Copies of this chain bind each other. A is one copy, B any other.
């Protein structure tokens, strides 16, 4: 039973026009603090709850605060919650809406490139718990994902780049038109052209939609979306100055290097990925401490196993799930660190 996501994606050109389509007596907005600074005045003030920025918001104490907000606004079972922001806001919005009164309708208005092309799509939501990322949550698709590209105009440049890391990931997974698009358009071209932004969002989100529609519960193929994330997450948690996208960029290059070490890919693949990353001002290497990284990876989600499902790029458009012993992974990381 495949889930249908494609037809829940839509573009809007005006926020007030969108608001006029809502039942504002039974609606609440959760809005990221920074988005609120730039765009908050456009929203119906009394319906807005501001979510402070930062991953530490993904906690039970935030969830309880937000549930109380919905109670105070008096939302009933036919109410709607709209999350406006990046991945933290969409994760919290999806989870809170899924458990309030045993589930009310929710939609997302992603405001970062990363959320538009990745985080808002796929129905995974939740919070961190007991030191583990996304340990608690549900899989529940939003009723709609609404694109308002004007949000990107106020997005800091470094956040835009960070989002491009996930776009590049989708290009590596799928190859095809998305890979052609980011190969032939510079970032300067894209940012200055609303039409290209729209095209980019459409193509990048379509890759994720296609994968999720076929494997919502991540029993198999959906895992390829973790390309660059096994090592990337470990780097992110040991190098707090890096953004998520920057860590993933480094993680993808490392994944390709490991594929080369295992004779599964050519050096050319590594260079293509590095070239994509550099075109979008993303780092592609960093001083590695393989022992620390492996400890992080082994601890991730209290893994009992001695191996991981490693996402291995064979070439652009051919990415596979390959079981890899942690000992072998550590050996490869040591080789890469000493190159």
Contact = CB atoms under 8 A, between A and B. Distances in A.
A250 to B, nearest CB: 27
B304 A99 contact: no
A175 interface: no
Contacts of A129: 64, 67, 71
Interface stretch (A132-140, A165-173, A191-199): A132-140
Interface residues of A, number: 29
Given A60-B60, A102-B124, A301-B76, A67 B138 contact: no
- Determine how many copies of this chain the complex contains: 2
Contacts of A100: 135-136
Given A68-B130, A129-B67, A130-B68, A102 B138 contact: yes
A176 interface: no
A102 B126 contact: yes
Contacts of A304: 74, 76
Contacts of A67: 129-130, 135-136
Contact of A135 (B101, B124, B135, B303): B101
- What is the interface of chain A mostly: helix, strand, loop, or mixed? mixed
A98 interface: yes
A7 B64 CA distance: 36
A99 B71 contact: no
A58 to B, nearest CB: 13
Contacts of A283: none
Contact of A99 (B68, B76, B138, B303): B138
A41 interface: no
Interface string A98-141: 11111100000000000000000000101001101011111100
Contacts of A37: none
Contacts of A139: 102-103
Contacts of A130: 67-68, 71
A6 to B, nearest CB: 19
A302 interface: yes
Contacts of A138: 98-99, 102-103, 138
B302 A71 contact: yes
Nearest to A1: B1
A71 B101 contact: no
A68 B131 CA distance: 11
Given A60-B64, A76-B301, A137 B102 contact: yes
Interface in A68-93: 68, 71, 74, 76
A136 to B, nearest CB: 5
Contacts of A134: 102
Given A71-B132, A99-B136, A102-B139, 14 more contacts: A67-B129, A71-B129, A71-B130, A71-B302, A74-B302, A74-B304, A76-B303, A100-B136, A101-B136, A101-B301, A102-B126, A102-B137, A102-B138, A103-B217
5 tightest A-B CB contacts, nearest first? A102-B137, A99-B136, A102-B139, A74-B304, A74-B302
7 contacts: A71-B130, A74-B304, A99-B99, A99-B136, A99-B138, A100-B136, A103-B139
